[in-house]
Amino acid sequence: MLEESETGRGRRGGRVVEFFRGFLRSPDQVGSVVPSSRFLEQRLVRAAGVSQARCVVELGPGVGGTTRALLEAMPADARLLTIELDSKFAELLDEMGDPRLVSHTGSAADLGEILALHGLQAPDAIVSGIPFSTMPREVGNAVLEAVRDQLRPGGVFVAYQFRGHVGRMGREILGPPEVEFEPLNVPPMRFFRWVRP
């Protein structure tokens, strides 16, 4: 038992170092200097309802902490598409070896084309950790429009952010969000949740 917990701590410690390197490489694309806490990961799983989902998309998975939490909660026959701009982060995701995981390096604004490229259906849930506060407004709007256009009716979009930009931008494109707060994370995070009519 001790060996497993040490392995888990070692893997998490390695993720923290790689995440910080990613922040130094591209501070405008990485929303924090440390990866998400397990409390944030579990809140994300619940808010997106991934335990019932057939197709889930994760925008900006970073080093894969949230990706692992999503995979653990998803049904055995579901698929998870991750879209990551940082190629080094994408390599870490490829190493997970879960056959349900489809890792793609590219822009979340191209969501429709990426889903079609991998033969995936309209997602039941889309989750996003990409920092809308640091990207150009037109790029953020393009991402939100792609989410709106690709999410299946009744599907859920959850963006976790420590600033409120996505809530204001999303209100114009997706309508008013539900907002929750997760204090047990560094930094504390807000969850913005939309359900497509």
- Which residues make Cβ contacts (< 8 Å) with residue 191, sequence separation at least 6? 43, 44, 47, 158, 159, 160, 179, 180, 181, 182
Looking at the structure of the chain, the number of domains it has is: 1
Q: Record the pTM.
A: 0.83
Per-residue pLDDT of the chain (197 residues; tens, 9 = 90+): 333 334 444 454 455 445 445 444 444 444 444 678 999 999 999 999 999 999 999 999 988 999 999 999 999 999 999 999 998 888 989 899 999 999 999 999 999 999 999 999 999 999 999 999 999 999 999 999 999 999 999 999 999 998 999 999 999 999 999 999 999 998 899 999 999 99
Pairing of strands 189-195, 156-161: antiparallel
User: Which neighbouring-strand residues pair with 82?
Assistant: 58, 103
**For residue 31, what pLDDT is reported?**
45
**For residue 5, what pLDDT is reported?**
39
User: Which neighbouring-strand residues pair with 55?
Assistant: 79
**For residue 186, what pLDDT is reported?**
86
Query: What is the domain-level CATH number for residue 99?
Result: 3.40.50.150
- Structural domain harbouring 72: 2-195
Helix axes 65-73, 38-48, angle to 10 degrees: 50
**For residue 34, what pLDDT is reported?**
61
**For residue 35, what pLDDT is reported?**
72
Distance in angstroms (rounded) separating the CA atoms of residues 85 and 60: 7
Handedness of CA 60, 65, 67, 69 (dihedral sign): negative
